[in-house]
Amino acid sequence: MEVILHPAYFGSIASVSKMVKASNLWLEKHDNYEKQTYRNRMDVYGANGLLPLTIPVNYTQKERKLYREVKIANTYNWQSSHWKSLESAYKTSPFFEYYEDELRPLYTKPFEYLMEFNMACLESFMACLQHELSYDWTSKFEKDFSNTNIQDARQFIHRKFIKTNFNLESYTQVFQNKHGFIKNLSVLDLLFNEGPNALDYLLAQPNEA
């Protein structure tokens, strides 16, 4: 099935499952930026439960921009802060040390544009899976794909949609004994806990995911 999605900051498990199962994948390049989405946020599992990590961006509602035009607000070292949070959350997970050398450079190299960083995250994640992801960029913004063979999954970028849909299989999480299983976190949670099995997990999820 052909699918269209937004690039995200280490996207949710459901969205990445949709990516790897797509026969043809389209990435949206001509959408307007929206606040409070997974474009600049990911949810991980910290010692106190759900932990959102948000990338600061230069954006105001008065100055609307396309997603690809939005710049990261590098006024403080958010990369170091995010990496320390990931270390704290996952240093005792089975596979954090296995993948940290692949992922750490994302948090030391400077990035100017949010989409550029998110694509680097996607490529690094697929390298960890040893999976070659093929995709095409959209050439213009299309509001409606109902009369095409393309499944519009761009709503997967919204946190409310992700958190209120999908019955994904559970897997063992680091702090599950404290707070229970938290579904549909960032794919990094799956990677650090399941390692090489992460790709098989993503491919095995129900079609609605």
Q: pLDDT by residue (tens digit) across 69-107?
A: 999 999 989 999 999 999 999 999 999 999 999 999 999
What backbone torsions phi and psi does residue 140 show, to the nearest 5 degrees? -160, 165
Scanning the chain, the segments in alpha helix (DSSP H) are 13-21, 78-90, 96-103, 114-129, 159-164, 176-179, 187-194, 198-204
Beta bridge mates, 151 = 3
- Residue 162's alpha-carbon distances to 37, 51, 156, 209, in angstroms, are 10, 15, 6, 10
Domain limits, the chain: 2-204
Model pTM score:
0.94
- Per-residue pLDDT tens over the stretch 151-181: 999 999 998 888 776 778 999 999 999 999 9
pLDDT, position 159:
87
Q: What integer is the mean pLDDT of 124-138?
A: 96
pLDDT higher than 60, residue 209 = no
pLDDT, position 89:
98
